[in-house]
């Protein structure tokens, strides 16, 4: 044995009773025979909740959960390993097993969880999965186009087969050419890159798309949606050689659900300090404006994750900007250990390009998700922030008059940041009821103008039922049987069915429809 000077150690030798005494130079017992040993008799696992039999529709998500407590000589942390039909499921090592979609072939599958603490392992009871066969083909849930990106975002009603959904030949967009298709990680959102997008509405025809159970859209399904004058992109710092963003490190994205509702995923350091890292869904506005939005949800990546409205001079990370944002609630701890959400409305900005950021109004506590409404206006050179709960009644938070004044045309829209630029860290925000008006309190259109109506199209064999709101007066229904064909008026007189005009059209194969203002 040695002590002092570093490299301390101990050697132990042993002998049996009645054997010669140990000499100083006898070899020590190998370290392989030493360790921390526990008594299995003192290792305990108590299952307090067993997994339950589950019935689910084919193609839908399902889960199983087990709950337990544990104890042993070296700690009571319980480990989990889920099994399907007796075989381990890779990566399924939590108390809850989540599966994104049930296959028809999973009907009758047996699921159990092996729980363990040091010195003991125990199996849960077995739960049976019953899958109701999925025989329904997927449908198009929504179509929205972003003019600034040259993209049409199509959301399907369920998870879809990746091979069929990635096939360019399965899509057509009226008046445009589809050049590329990509699938979002959610498995049901498709982004079509197009050339020749025609405003104000995009008509999308889809065929051959299958769900995970193999049900296909047999005949062409057609759905229209608005073409929004919006662009979606990350703002921050790019590598000088590759031009890839290093802040945000995780790419952001937007999924438009309608012309007013948007789901955003964003990474990035923050909207603060001398330069920003965030995701921006924006348009250009000239002169006065009045923009409002409801932030229905903001997931906490950091206690200062942010979502809200912004007016920005440039699209560089260090640009001057004026913003109004909300932070996560103060009830859920952030996964990065930064604490619970700040739970405030913030009116912030950067007064000089590349300069520091500062508040221009006192933070307002208590964010009332899902009714966290906000409003940002510009009148001349003055910006004003408001908060509310219903999109009608507003409480003013503050005003700022930047110097020098902002240019007449600025970038305006929805901004989101995770406030954590580490790999794998993003936040998720739900923006609802986004409205961008050209002046504070002014209508977006002339008083006698109408919003562009949406068509609802349902095919039943060779008959296509086309309907649109009766409030959309002064329109005529048109049809054509190909992307390059000429539009022709439909001669049938619309019938009134409740609050809808309805027309039945005989149509074979792919058919496009639109409403033309008379």
Please indicate, yes or no, if residue 3 is contained in any of the structural domains. yes
State whether 119 and 155 are in the same domain. Answer: no
DSSP 230: -
pLDDT of residue 276: 98
Q: What is the DSSP string of 235-282?
A: ESEE-TTT--EEESSSPPEEEESSSS-EEEEE--S-S-TTS--EEEEE
First to last CA, the chain: 100
The H or E element spanning position 164 is helix 162-165
Query: Each residue's pLDDT tens digit in the chain (518 positions)?
Result: 455 566 666 677 777 777 777 777 777 777 666 666 778 888 999 999 999 999 998 888 899 999 999 999 888 999 999 999 999 999 999 999 999 889 888 999 999 999 999 999 999 999 999 999 988 899 999 999 999 999 999 999 999 999 999 999 999 887 788 999 999 988 999 999 999 887 777 888 899 999 988 899 877 788 888 889 999 999 999 998 998 999 999 999 999 998 899 999 999 999 999 999 999 999 999 999 999 999 999 999 999 999 999 999 999 999 999 999 999 998 889 999 999 999 999 999 999 999 999 999 999 999 999 999 999 999 999 999 999 999 999 999 999 999 999 999 999 999 999 999 999 999 999 999 999 988 655 444 443 344 667 888 888 788 888 888 866 655 678 888 877 788 887 766 566 677 777 888 887 777 888 887 64
State whether 464 and 415 are in the same domain. Answer: no
Contact 218, 137 (CB under 8 A): yes
CA distance 458 to 442: 37
CA distance 72 to 93: 20
CA nearest to 229, candidates 81, 411, 459: 411
State whether 317 and 406 are in the same domain. Answer: yes
State whether 240 and 155 are in the same domain. Answer: no
State whether 350 and 465 are in the same domain. Answer: no
State whether 274 and 337 are in the same domain. Answer: yes
State whether 161 and 174 are in the same domain. Answer: yes
Q: 136-140: list long-range contacts, CB under 8 Å, 24+ apart.
A: 136/211, 136/215, 137/211, 137/215, 137/216, 137/217, 137/218, 138/188, 138/209, 138/210, 138/211, 138/215, 138/217, 139/217, 139/221, 140/204, 140/206, 140/221, 140/223
Hunting for tokens 């900007």 — which residue is that? 321
Please indicate, yes or no, if residue 291 is contained in any of the structural domains. yes
Which of 228, 248, 268 terminates a domain? The answer is 228
Phi, psi for 418 (deg, rounded to 5): -80, -25
Cα distances from 374 to residues 233, 396, 456, in angstroms, run 22, 10, 32
Quick check: helix, strand or coil at residue 68?
strand
Q: What would the two tokens of residue 501 be?
A: 């005009």
pLDDT of residue 518: 47
State whether 409 and 290 are in the same domain. Answer: yes
Angle at CA 245, nearest 5°, toward 239 and 247?
A: 105
pLDDT of residue 443: 43
State whether 108 and 217 are in the same domain. Answer: no
Which of 228, 251, 274 terminates a domain? The answer is 228
Instruction: For residue 52, count CB atoms less than 10 angstroms from its CB and return exposed for 0-12, middle for 13-18, buried for 19 or more.
Output: exposed
Please indicate, yes or no, if residue 447 is contained in any of the structural domains. no
Question: What is the span of the domain harbouring residue 47?
Answer: 1-134
Determine the distance from the C-alpha atom of residue 121 to the mean position of all C-alpha atoms in its chain, rounded to a whole number. Answer: 38
Please indicate, yes or no, if residue 36 is contained in any of the structural domains. yes
CA nearest to 517, candidates 458, 450, 445, 447: 450
CATH (domain of 151): 2.60.40.1220
Phi, psi for 228 (deg, rounded to 5): -90, 140
pLDDT of residue 4: 57
Q: In the chain, how many domains are there?
A: 4
pTM of the model: 0.70
pLDDT of residue 492: 63
Please indicate, yes or no, if residue 415 is contained in any of the structural domains. yes
Please indicate, yes or no, if residue 503 is contained in any of the structural domains. yes
Which of 89, 115, 134 terminates a domain? The answer is 134
Please indicate, yes or no, if residue 443 is contained in any of the structural domains. no
pLDDT of residue 445: 41
Contact 278, 416 (CB under 8 A): yes
pLDDT of residue 34: 65
Q: What is the DSSP string of 177-227?
A: EEEEEEE-TTSSEEEEEEES--SSEEEEEE-S-BBTTS-B--SPEEEEEEE
CA nearest to 172, candidates 503, 504, 488, 480: 480
pLDDT of residue 477: 82
State whether 167 and 222 are in the same domain. Answer: yes
Please indicate, yes or no, if residue 445 is contained in any of the structural domains. no
CB under 8 Å to 6, separation ≥6 — which residues? none
Q: Which residues pair with 307 in a beta bridge?
A: 326, 416
State whether 38 and 176 are in the same domain. Answer: no
pLDDT of residue 92: 95
CA nearest to 51, candidates 33, 38, 37, 63: 63
CATH (domain of 84): 2.60.40.10
Hunting for tokens 């319980």 — which residue is that? 78
DSSP 2: B
Q: Which residues pair with 515 in a beta bridge?
A: 477
Phi, psi for 360 (deg, rounded to 5): -115, 10
CA distance 168 to 181: 6
pLDDT of residue 514: 85
CA distance 159 to 99: 12
State whether 413 and 312 are in the same domain. Answer: yes
CA distance 149 to 471: 31
CATH (domain of 268): 2.60.120.200
Contact 357, 344 (CB under 8 A): no
pLDDT of residue 7: 61
């Amino acid at each position: 044995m040695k002590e002092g000077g570093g490299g301390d150690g101990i050697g132990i030798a042993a002998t049996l009773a009645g054997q010669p005494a140990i000499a100083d130079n006898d070899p020590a017992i190998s370290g392989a025979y030493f360790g921390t040993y526990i008594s299995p008799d003192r290792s305990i696992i108590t299952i307090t909740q067993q997994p339950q039999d589950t019935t689910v529709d084919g193609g839908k998500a399902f889960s199983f959960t087990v709950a337990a407590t544990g104890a042993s000589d070296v700690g009571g942390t319980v480990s989990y390993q889920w099994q399907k039909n007796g075989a381990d499921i890779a990566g399924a090592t939590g108390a809850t097993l989540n599966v994104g979609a049930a296959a028809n072939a999973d009907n009758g599958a047996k699921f159990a969880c092996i729980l363990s603490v040091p010195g003991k392992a125990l199996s849960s009871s077995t739960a049976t999965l019953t899958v109701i066969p999925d025989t329904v083909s997927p449908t198009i849930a929504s179509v929205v186009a972003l003019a600034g990106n040259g993209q049409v975002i199509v959301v399907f009603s369920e998870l879809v087969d990746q091979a069929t959904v990635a096939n360019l030949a399965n899509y057509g967009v009226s008046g445009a050419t589809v050049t590329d298709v990509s699938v979002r990680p959610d498995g049901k959102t498709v982004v079509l890159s197009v050339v020749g997008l025609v405003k104000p509405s995009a008509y999308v025809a889809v065929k051959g798309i299958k769900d995970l159970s193999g049900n296909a859209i047999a005949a062409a399904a057609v759905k229209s949606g608005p073409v929004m004058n919006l662009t979606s992109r990350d703002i921050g710092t790019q590598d000088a050689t590759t031009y890839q963003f290093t802040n945000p490190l995780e790419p952001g994205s937007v999924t438009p659900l309608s012309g007013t509702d948007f789901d955003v995923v964003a990474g990035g350091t923050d909207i603060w300090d001398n330069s920003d890292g965030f995701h921006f869904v924006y348009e250009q506005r000239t002169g006065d404006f009045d923009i409002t939005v409801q932030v229905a949800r903001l997931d906490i990546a950091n206690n200062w994750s942010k979502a809200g409205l912004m007016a920005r001079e440039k699209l560089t990370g260090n640009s001057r900007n004026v913003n109004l944002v909300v932070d996560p609630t103060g009830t859920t701890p952030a996964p990065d250990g930064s604490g619970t959400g700040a739970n405030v409305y913030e009116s912030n900005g950067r007064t000089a390009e590349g300069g520091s950021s500062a508040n221009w109004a006192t933070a307002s506590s208590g964010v009332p998700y899902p009714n966290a409404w906000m409003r940002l206006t510009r009148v001349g050179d003055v910006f004003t922030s408001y908060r509310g709960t219903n999109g009608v009644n507003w409480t003013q938070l503050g005003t700022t008059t930047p110097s020098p004044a902002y240019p007449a045309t600025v970038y305006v829209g929805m901004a989101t940041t995770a406030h954590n630029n580490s790999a794998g860290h993003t936040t998720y925000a739900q923006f609802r009821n986004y409205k961008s008006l050209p002046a504070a309190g002014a209508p977006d259109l002339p008083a006698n103008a109408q919003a562009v109506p949406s068509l609802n199209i349902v095919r039943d064999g060779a008959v296509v039922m086309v309907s649109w709101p009766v409030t959309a007066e002064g329109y005529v229904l048109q049809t054509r049987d190909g992307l390059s064909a000429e539009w022709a008026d439909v001669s049938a007189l619309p019938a009134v069915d409740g609050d809808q005009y309805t027309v039945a059209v005989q149509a074979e194969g792919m058919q496009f429809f639109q409403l033309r203002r008379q």
